[in-house]
Amino acid sequence: MASNSISFQILFPSPYSVEVSKLRQQLEDAHLAWASEWKRQQLDFRIENIRFVHDPYWNKRIFSLQAAHDGETWFWRATHAIVVVGGLSI
């Protein structure tokens, strides 16, 4: 075990560990300053969803990404069929 501590002292002399801890402290200070500023700015930010009404058929609309994924509408079923046939013909 004594040989391990000697080899670590050769690889990492004490001045380097002091520099690393200084850099780590500076990084933590910078992160703390950033986090506190971010939280302060979030207090001013409010989401207002007053003007939008929930659409119960949002996933059945023709240009909805969810409808494209599910293939719920005739448009996307036809598109999927064209893509599959086109892929098979390659």
**pLDDT tens for residues 48-72?**
666 666 777 777 777 777 777 777 7
**What is the pLDDT, as a whole number, of residue 22?**
83
HEC profile of the chain? CHHHHHHHHHHCCHHHHHHHHHHHHHHHHHHHHHHHHHHHHHHHCCCCCCCCCCCCCHHHCCCCHHHHHHCCCHHHHHHHHHHHHHHHCC
Span 21-43, average pLDDT = 88
Q: Where are the domains of the chain?
A: 1-46, 57-90
| pLDDT value at 13 more than 70 | no
Residues of the chain above pLDDT 90, percent? 12
